[in-house]
Structure 1
């Protein structure tokens, strides 16, 4: 019956070249939710590089979620860190939040990573923001203790520190695929 119950959004899919220009706008709008947080200045000053989106598109590691009304609700950009599937950036438009887009994107991307032979997924995120570490924990990620980080993760965290992130609030997380 049309109009009854929640509408299902389509399954996440690979981004298309013509959609690349939308992704920085989604990132910027999603970042507004951090206004007032100690990491806000870094996020607003260091958006994802357009080349990173293009590289993700080329590597087939950039997925989008469409809203039920049409248009892009969010995206997830991944890469490879050592042998691990690396969730680099995920953003959902604030007005599309809490509708399952982020969860669908993450689950889809992790399935793709597992299908590509990765045994583990890794990421860095904010420990004190519920839609960051808490969200990833609800999807099976656990804090990755600093003493067991790979050299590549140490390098990622050093880059984040150099960018000015409040490192006391940054965590690395991992999950078996």
Structure 2
């Protein structure tokens, strides 16, 4: 029997469930050269509350309406920025990441935006290669907006290796 999933907005009370999903998803980094990410703390409830206030949180919920994945997005540089995408590994490989991205893209398009950007690893197949299959293309540093540049620099300052990071952009229409 195939499990049914829905993509929806969370309730404020459900925000407290998202860090556990992020921690579980981060365990996928353990066999990679970026295993240290598995030990990083998840998003704080204050950060999640800020995304919630901006209407920038989407959930993937299972057949029991339990959250099993989420996306965080905000507007930077006059485009949608996908800040985070996590799916619990027990529910991975079922298209939930793609569906969450499509929900974010639909929201961005309804707001009048044309593009979505993100920062990810260029040396892990389930990061940049997945996004490329969805229609994202790598950006040259000269294509970064001011806010994306600040976010990229903050990632590097936090310990993410610059050589392993890539900014990518896609037209929202491609992601629907």
Q: Give TM-score scaled by structure 2 length.
A: 0.91
Aligned residues: 172
Query: Which of 103, 114, 122 is 1:108 aligned to?
Result: 103
CA offset digits 1:115-153 (Å, max 9, x no partner)? 111111100001122221111111111101112211222
Structure 2 runs not aligned, ≥5 long:
none
Bigger drift between 146-155 and 167-176 goes to: 146-155
CA offset digits 1:62-103 (Å, max 9, x no partner)? 000112354111000101112110100010000100011111
Aligned equivalents of 1:148, 1:165: Cα separation in 2: 20
Please state if 1:150 is matched with 2:130.
no
Query: What secondary structure, in the 3-state scheme, does the structure 2 residue paired with 1:164 have?
Result: coil
Residues 71, 82 of structure 2: 8 Å contact kept: yes
Alignment-derived partner of residue 135 in structure 1: 130
Bigger drift between 87-96 and 133-142 goes to: 133-142
Residues 5, 61 of structure 2: 8 Å contact kept: yes
Query: What secondary structure, in the 3-state scheme, does the structure 2 residue paired with 1:118 have?
Result: coil
Structure 1 runs not aligned, ≥5 long:
none
Query: What secondary structure, in the 3-state scheme, does the structure 2 residue paired with 1:18 have?
Result: helix
Aligned equivalents of 1:69, 1:150: Cα separation in 2: 41
Question: Which aligned pairs between 1:26-175 and structure 2 lie closer than 5 A?
Answer: 26-42=21-37, 44-175=39-170
Residues 39, 166 of structure 1: 8 Å contact kept: no
The CA deviation at 1:156 is 1.0
Q: Give TM-score scaled by structure 1 length.
A: 0.90
